[in-house]
Structure 1
Amino acid sequence: MSNAASSPIRHAVVLAHPDPNSFNAMIARAYCDAVEAAGQEVILRDLYAMTFDPVLKNEERPVRKGVTLAPDVRAELDMLRDTNVVTFVFPIWFGMPPAMLVGYIDRVLGAGTTVRQVQDRSAEGPLGKGHLCAITTSGAAADWLEAQGQTEALRELAGTYLFRAFAMRSSEALHIGDVVEGASSAFIEDSLQRVRKRAASICARVGQELYGTPLPPQLGDGS
């Protein structure tokens, strides 16, 4: 994570959707626009556009001595070390994140991290003391997912496990359901506005934490 005394607040948005014109891509752009509007920096990592390789190699496993990290993993780690907030944007497919995102977590976020470090919250990875946000979408309605226990499972993944595993400072999630073809323009704009509000809220809170910037009055979080 970056040094607040000398660096601007920086966000990394990790998008995991194969369609560059998808609703998820629109969400990622809306988040980025809101961060820039708040005067903070943002970098977008479109994993499919980057043709990121999600397959963990045997030599990358932390149980082995002398872990060897591939150049693409090192590049991502270098980028994340200068980042204060990491936001994942991805759809829920068959109750799970896309394999592309799981591979990114395996290869990049978990690089060199052992089970003992996860249990002790002693991992010294790129996200340590940073902030995590997960913005997810589904074709199913949010209340249906809640009834299936899927919403809680997602909260456990992003809000508990990753938060604890990588010793992060905070985590939060925003889910948008009923994302189907032919969705109305009003639904799309309302959803993107929720994303913008959440991004603005995160920017304000991190700014207060790092620089003591006063929070705007009546700040909403896009829930």
Structure 2
Amino acid sequence: MDHRIPDRSDLKHCVILCHPDPDSFCAAVADRYCDVVRRHGDHVIVRDLYQMGFDPVLRAAERPTSPDFRLSADVEDELGLIAGTAQFVFIYPLWFGTPPAMLKGYVERVLGAGFSHRAVRDQQFHPILSGRNLLSFSSSGSSWAWLNEKAAWVALRHVFDDYLASAFSLARCDHVHFDCIVDGMKPRFVREQLLRAEQEAEKICAQLHHRPGVPEARPQQPMGI
């Protein structure tokens, strides 16, 4: 499996969408992001976890410390699809102050496949994620002020974003949040929020295309040791 970051003429984005409603605001954000990426000539794949019927349940044998450790077939296939990605994008709603369990399961089973607590602690090289970028788009029905009052935003950034950035040695970890996303939103408000998503996608593409001397990933080290 080739884990090198693609040449700038063939940059790959992986959009990981986690929302059960195919007509959701999150799905619209995913569509807008993908439109921008394709307009720039980059390659994008979308992993719509609910549409895929992704199984988020980690099996005992999938734990990297298990004496019988092995990758499940669906995880192995998924790792093959996302290999070579330069820009990862999470798109999800906040439910009870945290990402949906489906997304957490994707992190545990796929992104963290074979990567043990020792690997995280020792900052071992991750063959798919080290040196890559992560952008998160999240949404909630609550206001920004309420999220801050309950410390939900700070907690999310520290426990999820910052931890993943450190654990997987990400180069960048950015987050755009859309608040007050509820049924019956005015069309103008929706357009304004999707424009924010589009502008962020434009910025990401500009950063990737002007990134000088992107290094090749180091040879893969055994994971989970």
The residue number in structure 2 matching 1:183 is: 185
Give the TM-score of the pair, scaled to structure 1: 0.90
8 Å contact from structure 1 (residues 77, 108) kept in 2: yes
**Residues 1:169 and 2:162 are matched in the alignment:** no
Distance, in Å, in 2 between the alignment partners of 1:163 and 1:188 is 30
Distance, in Å, in 2 between the alignment partners of 1:43 and 1:5 is 17
8 Å contact from structure 2 (residues 6, 85) kept in 1: no
Question: What 5-or-longer segments of structure 1 have no aligned partner?
Answer: 213-223
The residue number in structure 2 matching 1:205 is: 207
The residue number in structure 1 matching 2:130 is: 128
**Match among 48, 51, 63 for residue 49 of structure 1:** 51
Distance, in Å, in 2 between the alignment partners of 1:30 and 1:120 is 38
SS at match of 1:54: coil
Aligned counterparts, 1:52-71, within 5 A = 52-71=54-73
**Match among 101, 104, 117 for residue 103 of structure 2:** 101
The residue number in structure 2 matching 1:80 is: 82
Counterpart of 1:161, as a letter, is Y
The residue number in structure 2 matching 1:36 is: 38
TM-superposition CA deviations, 1:138-184 (whole Å, max 9, x none): 00011210121111112124431001111111110000000010001
The residue number in structure 2 matching 1:26 is: 28
The residue number in structure 1 matching 2:92 is: 90
Distance, in Å, in 1 between the alignment partners of 2:106 and 2:212 is 28
Q: CA RMSD in A?
A: 1.6
Question: What 5-or-longer segments of structure 2 have no aligned partner?
Answer: 215-225
How many residues matched?
Answer: 212
8 Å contact from structure 1 (residues 158, 172) kept in 2: no
SS at match of 1:194: helix
Distance, in Å, in 2 between the alignment partners of 1:106 and 1:138 is 23
Give the TM-score of the pair, scaled to structure 2: 0.89
Cα distance change, pair 40–203 in 1 and its aligned pair in 2 (3 A):
same
TM-superposition CA deviations, 1:62-108 (whole Å, max 9, x none): 11134211111111111221210100000000111111101101100
The residue number in structure 1 matching 2:113 is: 111
Distance, in Å, in 2 between the alignment partners of 1:97 and 1:108 is 16
8 Å contact from structure 1 (residues 90, 135) kept in 2: yes
Counterpart of 1:198, as a letter, is E
Distance, in Å, in 2 between the alignment partners of 1:92 and 1:138 is 5
SS at match of 2:183: coil
Distance, in Å, in 2 between the alignment partners of 1:76 and 1:123 is 19
**More off after superposition, 166-175 vs 5-14:** 5-14
TM-superposition CA deviations, 1:106-135 (whole Å, max 9, x none): 100110001111122214242111000111
Distance, in Å, in 2 between the alignment partners of 1:131 and 1:158 is 15
Identity %: 39
